[in-house]
Every structure is written in structure tokens, then in C-alpha cells.
Amino acid sequence: MNNTTYSVKKNEIESKWYIIDAAGKPLGRVATEAARLLRGKHKPTYTPNLDVGDHVIILNCKDVVLTGKKLDQKVYRHHSGYIGGMKETVAREMMDKKPQEAMMLAVKGMLPHNSLGRAQLKKLRVYAGSEHENIAQKPEVWEF
């Protein structure tokens, strides 16, 4: 019996396209499912040190739900690098102006914080509405 762990080769990696409809679902639940697909953890050929994940399209981010008091208490912070350059945005304002940015940040935080995570994040496309431009890739709907 062979006791070695199978590791997928770079030329054996196949990636599919999936659509996640975020309407009426909690932001974190959608983000964790998207991160799982981007990393490739749903595949039997998952390899932690390779980008074996799939492409993910998230639609209807404007209709995503934040539970509890997060709309008023959650704060998105970002610093320009200059003195006094801290910018703070409350979640309610972020969801009104840039809901796709909030989703992107949620998924980004769930991916590895290295070059592999950056490569996986490039496979994510987020749209505020239900229209997208990746019809040619024939994406499948991912239900969870």
C-alpha cells in the first residue's frame, strides 16, 4: 500500500466558474463560502501551497444582510501612510456607497495574507447588482 500523500501538479489544475447570489444572506456566510471556493477546499485535489481554487462571481452585494448592530458599530479603517491619514467608514455608509468593497474586504480577510492569497483574490469578481459580464465563461450557480 502506498502511504504518500497525493499532491496535484500545476498542469493538472482545472478551474471552474461559480456564481454566488448574495441577496438576503449574511455577509460573512457569503464571504466564507467564496473564500472556500477561491482556495479550492471543496475539491479532493486541494493543495495548501498551490492555487487550485475556482473563479467566483458574487452578485447582488447591495442586498446582503449585516446581523445585529453591525451596520452602526462595524468600522472599516484604512490609513494613507501619512500623519493623520486614518480614514474610518461605518458599515452603513459603506453598504450604501460601495457594497462590493465591503464584500471584497470580507473575502480578502479570509484568504492567506501572502502572494498565494493575492493570486486567489484576483479570481474574485463582485457586483452590486445582478448583472455581470462573465457569461462567456458559462458559470454555474453555487448553492449553500
Integer Cα distance of 4 and 109 in angstroms: 32
Tell me the residue length of the chain.
144
> Binning pLDDT at 50, 70 and 90, where does residue 140 land?
very high
For 54-86, how does the pLDDT look when each residue is reduced to its tens digit (9 = 90+)? 999 999 999 999 999 999 999 999 999 999 999
Q: Which CATH number fits domain 15-65+98-141: 3.90.1180.10, 3.40.50.300, 3.50.50.60, 3.30.70.1020?
A: 3.90.1180.10
Interhelix angle 27-39/99-108, nearest 10 degrees: 50
Q: Is residue 126 within 8 Å of residue 27, measured between CB atoms?
A: no
pLDDT at 1: 65
> Binning pLDDT at 50, 70 and 90, where does residue 5 land?
confident
Read off the pTM: 0.92
